[in-house]
Amino acid sequence: MQALTALPPLSEAARTPVGAEVLRGLSGRPKTLSPWLFYDDEGSRLFEAITELPEYYVTRAEREILAARADEIVGFAAGDHRLEIYELGAGAATKTGLLLQAALRRQGQVRYRAIDVSSSALDEAKERLEAKLPGLVVEPIVADYTDGLVHLDGDLGDGLSFRRPDERRMFLYIGSSIGNFDLPFALRILRDIRRQLLPGDALLLGADLVKDRQILLSAYDDSAGVTAAFNKNVLVRVNRELGSNFNLQLFRHRARWNEECSRIEMHLESLITQIVFIRALDLQVRLGRGETIHTENSYKFTDEQVEGLLGRAGFGIAKRWKDKNGWFGEYLAEAV
């Protein structure tokens, strides 16, 4: 009893997702913050701006593939069935329109179920896509897919057993979102997707590929400083939501290529020795000069790695496409 009451009560803030993540990430060493923290309203806006930067080839390369291959992709996935399309981490769903249009050309009506943590991004996507694409029905599902997809079955309404026999599912997991996770976790996500599918259903996976180190580094450290602002915005968010006093001028954006792990890392480097106070968590964070907060991993893949992961998750490779530079890969996998 004594021991229990002597502990300070866990504050309300520490039990919110943001509070819990900041407490976890900044209490020990090395200091880390999960990349999902980037995507508040301002962060989502900054990410959209990143996708238009000259150095950030990722979105353009994938759009090039989808623009050229959408009919082929949809045709392969559908066979002679009707296709239902699901997307993980749909966000603003700007590239998805190319695939939805291709599906509409084939079958006139398409149900598109978009899963994302941001309800505002989903609402915006629904309004924009339904206005532009007659025959399309967008069903937003607000959820964090990294928690697993099993609990979605209620929301998805028609669990596997209620599927119409003439229907096939295609899951979209594009944009190299999978690159944010280490390989064991990436495998877990692919297996979660596989559990939502029947043999013959499809997964379209977009993955960024290993390439020249300078090209990678400038994609994550652009000359206009948009990626730096995106990275630092996480501190702005923590200041606002948890009442901390991070001074942005005392941190520097860093992008590093970690060859051994085949990933770009983003960090926020402390320019001096400093102590930051996080009021809502009653937490003091000491940062040494040069110490970093590691905010993101962006894994870069080879065909062998992607196809190995897909195979271990219960998929066979139906087909793969690259952009003209060979920088980005789009993999159509069939549930086996």
Query: Which residues are at the interface with ligand AVJ (CB under 6 A)?
Result: 50, 58, 175-177, 179-180, 220, 227, 296, 298
Write down the least CB distance from residue 326 to ligand AVJ, Å.
17
Residue of minimal CB distance from ligand AVJ?
A: 298
The β-bridge relationship of strands 263-270 and 251-258 is antiparallel
Residue 39 or 168: the one with the smaller Cβ distance to ligand AVJ is 39
Using an 8 Å Cβ cutoff, are 293 and 33 in contact? Answer: yes
Residue 61 or 110: the one with the smaller Cβ distance to ligand AVJ is 61
> Angle of helix 17-27 relative to helix 226-242, nearest 10 degrees?
110
Residue 246 or 299: the one with the smaller Cβ distance to ligand AVJ is 299
Half-sphere exposure of 272 (CA within 13 A, CB side): 8
Write down the least CB distance from residue 296 to ligand AVJ, Å.
6
Amino acid letter, residue 186: A
Write down the least CB distance from residue 192 to ligand AVJ, Å.
18
CA pair distance 253, 117, nearest whole angstrom: 26
Write down the least CB distance from residue 204 to ligand AVJ, Å.
15
Write down the least CB distance from residue 89 to ligand AVJ, Å.
8
Distances (CA, A) of 58 to 179, 185, 253, 292: 12, 22, 20, 26
Instruction: Give just the sign of the alpha carbon dihedral 26, 31, 34, 40.
Output: positive
Residue 168 or 231: the one with the smaller Cβ distance to ligand AVJ is 231
Residue 224 or 336: the one with the smaller Cβ distance to ligand AVJ is 224
